[in-house]
Amino acid sequence: MQKILAAAGIASRRKCESLIVQGRVKVNGKKIKLGDKADAIQDLITLDGKIIQPENKVYFVLNKPRDYVTSMKQSGKKTIKELIKIPERVFPVGRLDENAEGLLLLTNDGELANKIMHPRYETYKTYHVVLDKKFKHHNRLTSIKIDGKKVKIKRYRNLPKGIEIVIHEGKKHIVKRIFAKLGYKVQELKRVQVANIKLKNLSKGKMRALTKKELRELRSLLKIR
């Protein structure tokens, strides 16, 4: 059932599992439990009383500006929901801090989103980082430990302004925590690539659909048929 819900664009598969445990999902009028199965076409599936319909899967890149919260809920702050101008219901794959900017994937494909976020698939993300002072600890960058575990940095290089790092860690504030370990404060943070998907020259606050080639390559990297 969690796979059906995720495919319908409700949320990631893990979040859908939580919805089932909370007793909010029913099949043909009866509450279900984890492990139960259903037919997405023939059975009546509801979430909080609302009928769940299969959706066409869509895939977008958003260039999130600074000072926007990665949330689809209304709040007292500016959220990415204000920037999304498409009829389909989508959710962000992972998140970016409020004061960070750059590439954010949006989709209603729960399976793809779950695999991007799962550590097992080691989906690498590329960040451009501007620090409060010139970086001088390159020799220590690849030995950083966060929460007792060594951070796997695929590569790094100096930029005209700052440094680029490529990692697959998904812990909260991970980039800021890496540089804080070495005595630096992140002043600007921009994600420019996730897996094979690049931000390129997409304007801040704008969206674009993934190309067929990008999606095909991404599904191949995630081993999705």
Query: Which are the catalytic amino acids?
Result: 97
**Which distant-in-sequence residues (6+ apart) come within 8 Å of 87 by Cβ?**
none
134-143, long-range: CB within 8 Å, 24+ apart, which pairs?
Answer: 135/162, 135/163, 135/184, 137/182, 137/183, 140/182, 141/165, 141/178, 141/182
Structure-token pair, residue 142: 């690849």
- Please count the other Cβ atoms lying within 10 Å of the Cβ belonging to residue 165: 20
- Beta strand segments in 30-183, E: 30-31, 45-47, 50-51, 59-64, 91-92, 101-107, 125-131, 145-146, 149-150, 153-159, 162-167
Distance of alpha carbon 116 from its chain centroid, rounded? 7
If we measure between CA atoms, which residue out of 108, 99, 118, 72 comes closest to residue 209?
108
**What are the Cα distances from residue 186, in Å, to 1, 79, 113, 135, 147?**
42, 22, 27, 11, 19
